[in-house]
């Protein structure tokens, strides 16, 4: 790979930024000269590929330079002082952030969580550390076939357990998807074979149906004078198919987004017009029309979704969005990742505002035009509050607990729940009013007596749905019971309940 292939990806680089990246390129090539990958190629290739992935995500010159240098301290004994002298303290901080994690050598859960904890401490100071780590892992996954067999399973599982969910929560779908698809055959070989065999049988016919439908949609849109920028056809990836099958009792017929087309248009208004045109010609499936434009997902995702019967027995999901939404759905937080803890207060442009839900979980309902808009409550930089929360997590919390916290609270899919005043709280899926109450305040949780969900009084163990408006009813003498532990999802709620029960013991 030539240096130019990478520098050409930088956005309006200055002369000094170009010089920094070039210097890192040459330095890494020198430092790793004797160093070989499992595949037999020069180690330097890994550094170029990692740096290129970082540049593709739109990161700045320092992050790309750190991508070239990320293994110099760990693998070829370059002194941190040398990096500081040659590249400055910003690049050193990034390289050290990645290095400190060590190579994740799996030595039981404890060891593992400790590395993760360090990852989040580093990332909560500068999110770019996490971006570098994800790109490093992506290239390692692309070349996993060369790694000794006994290591493949461990690396693939770790990728599915940790790195893919991180990418997802950062809204970097592009990396999330590829990590999942690459890990799947190694992590779950039997399941992979099964899903692959099932889809192979149907593949040709499915693709034919999809193309036919795609053409008629385009014809309709042209007829209505809507300018379409580009479209894409998509057959669901094997891992995401496997994941959905697990949730749908293995019934292929219950999965409605095996086939999808994506329509990219110029404006938000056009998105809704496209939806109208499609619904005028094809019958939508009830309950599958989703407006993530007015109501973005907690990871920042925006798009209109609908699923329609194609008329020839097929079902196709349609995703409609603008180019900007498309870019954000692919690159997520990486588009804004040049923020760090100390300096550079966030620009308060419109773009950042639109992107709010990812950056701050606390939103507000805009009461002006009646549309639901999530306003940014800027945390001062682009570091999502959950990364910050993980980094700041109490050091006394046990490793096992930290691990559970990560899996249960942070990597689960999220839902938005509203207070009657329109404040937003985001919670893991399957949360109950108990979780909601404790997430507002421990006192509210402890005195919880009942909950009104969308105006209706319902049991406090009811499973909440995305978009529910929940009003918590409290009573002065109210207190938690043992039973609540079964209905609480979040570790924060469980912790408070346990503590309070402990105190109430006679």
Contacting residues toward Mn ion, per CB under 5 A: 71, 136
State the pairing for strand pair 259-265/315-322. parallel
**Whether residue 75 lies in the annotated active site:** yes
Q: How far is the CB of 50 from Mn ion (least distance, A)?
A: 6
Q: Given the complex with Mn ion, which of 16 and 77 has the nearer CB atom?
A: 77
Nearest residue by C-beta to Mn ion? Answer: 136
Q: Given the complex with Mn ion, which of 87 and 438 has the nearer CB atom?
A: 87
Do 249 and 227 form a contact (C-beta atoms < 8 A)? no
Q: How far is the CB of 45 from Mn ion (least distance, A)?
A: 11
**Which residues, 6+ apart, have CB-to-CB distance to 188 below 8 Å?**
242
Residue 465 to residue 296: CA distance in whole angstroms = 15
Do 438 and 485 form a contact (C-beta atoms < 8 A)? no
Residue 275 to residue 286: CA distance in whole angstroms = 14
Kindly name the residue from 29, 49, 71, 74 that is annotated as catalytic: 74
Kindly name the residue from 5, 34, 60, 75 that is annotated as catalytic: 75
Token pair recorded at residue 352: 């950042």
Do 476 and 482 form a contact (C-beta atoms < 8 A)? no
Angle, in degrees to the nearest 10, between helices 89-100 and 128-142: 50
Q: Given the complex with Mn ion, which of 49 and 60 has the nearer CB atom?
A: 49
- Specify the length of the chain in residues: 506
Q: Report which of 103, 37, 24, 129 is spatially closest to residue 69, judged by C-alpha positions.
A: 24
Residue 58 to residue 70: CA distance in whole angstroms = 18
Token pair recorded at residue 101: 């994690």
Q: How far is the CB of 263 from Mn ion (least distance, A)?
A: 38
Q: How far is the CB of 133 from Mn ion (least distance, A)?
A: 9
Q: Please report, for residues 94, 95, 230, 352, 407, the alpha-carbon distance to residue 130 in angstroms, rounded to integers and kept in the order given.
A: 9, 11, 31, 20, 17
Q: Long-range contacts for 213-219 (Cβ within 8 Å, ≥24 apart)?
A: 213/261, 213/310, 213/314, 213/316, 214/261, 216/281, 217/261, 217/263, 217/278, 217/318
Residue with tokens 């669901």: 236
Q: Given the complex with Mn ion, which of 90 and 136 has the nearer CB atom?
A: 136
Q: How far is the CB of 315 from Mn ion (least distance, A)?
A: 42
**Whether residue 86 lies in the annotated active site:** no
Q: How far is the CB of 140 from Mn ion (least distance, A)?
A: 7
Do 425 and 490 form a contact (C-beta atoms < 8 A)? no
Cα-Cα end-to-end distance for the chain: 70
Neighbours of 491 (CB within 10 A): 20
Q: Given the complex with Mn ion, which of 138 and 264 has the nearer CB atom?
A: 138
Q: What is the set of active-site residues? A: 74-75
């Amino acid at each position: 790979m030539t240096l130019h292939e990478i520098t050409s990806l930088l956005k309006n680089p200055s002369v000094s930024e170009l010089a920094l990246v070039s210097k890192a390129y040459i330095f890494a090539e020198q430092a790793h000269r004797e160093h070989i990958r499992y595949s037999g190629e020069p180690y330097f290739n890994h550094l170029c590929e990692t740096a290129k992935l970082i540049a593709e995500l739109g990161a700045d010159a320092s992050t790309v330079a750190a991508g070239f240098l990320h293994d110099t301290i760990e693998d070829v004994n370059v002194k941190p002082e040398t990096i500081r002298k040659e590249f400055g303290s910003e690049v050193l901080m990034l390289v050290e952030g990645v290095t400190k994690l060590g190579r994740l050598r799996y030595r039981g859960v404890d060891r593992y969580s400790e590395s993760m904890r360090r990852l989040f401490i580093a990332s909560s100071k500068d999110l770019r550390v996490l971006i570098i780590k994800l790109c490093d892992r992506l290239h390692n996954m692309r070349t996993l076939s060369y790694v000794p067999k006994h290591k493949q399973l461990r690396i693939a599982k770790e990728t599915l357990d940790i790195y893919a969910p991180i990418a997802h929560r950062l809204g970097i779908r592009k990396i999330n998807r590829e990590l999942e698809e690459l890990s799947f055959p190694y992590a779950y070989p039997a399941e992979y074979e099964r899903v692959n065999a099932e889809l192979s049988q149907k593949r040709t016919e499915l693709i034919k149906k999809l193309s036919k439908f795609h053409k008629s949609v385009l014809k309709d849109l042209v007829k209505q004078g809507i300018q379409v920028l580009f479209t894409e056809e998509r057959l669901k990836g094997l891992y995401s198919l496997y994941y959905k099958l697990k949730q749908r009792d293995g019934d292929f017929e219950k999965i409605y987004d095996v086939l999808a087309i994506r329509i990219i248009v110029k404006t938000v208004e056009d998105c809704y017009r496209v939806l109208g045109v499609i619904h005028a010609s094809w019958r939508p499936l009830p309950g599958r029309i989703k407006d993530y434009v007015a109501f973005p997902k907690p990871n920042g995702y925006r798009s209109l979704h609908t699923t329609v019967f194609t008329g020839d027995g097929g079902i196709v999901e349609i995703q409609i969005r603008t180019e900007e939404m498309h870019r954000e759905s692919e690159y997520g937080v990486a588009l804004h990742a040049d923020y760090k803890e100390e300096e550079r207060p966030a620009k308060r442009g419109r773009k950042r505002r639109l992107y709010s839900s990812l950056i701050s979980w606390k939103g507000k309902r805009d009461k002006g035009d009646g549309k639901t808009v999530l306003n940014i409550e800027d945390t001062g930089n682009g570091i999502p509050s959950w990364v910050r929360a993980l980094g700041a997590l109490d050091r006394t919390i046990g490793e096992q607990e930290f691990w559970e916290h990560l899996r249960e609270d942070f990597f689960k899919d999220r839902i938005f729940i509203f207070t009657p005043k329109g404040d937003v709280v985001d919670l893991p899926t399957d949360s109950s009013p108990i979780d909601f109450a404790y997430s507002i305040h421990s006192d509210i949780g402890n005195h919880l007596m009942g909950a009104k969900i969308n105006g209706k009084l319902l049991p406090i163990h009811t499973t909440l749905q995305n978009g529910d408006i929940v009003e918590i009813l409290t009573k002065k003498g109210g207190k938690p019971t043992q039973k609540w532990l079964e209905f609480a999802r979040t570790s924060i709620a469980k912790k408070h309940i346990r503590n309070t029960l402990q105190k109430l013991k006679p």
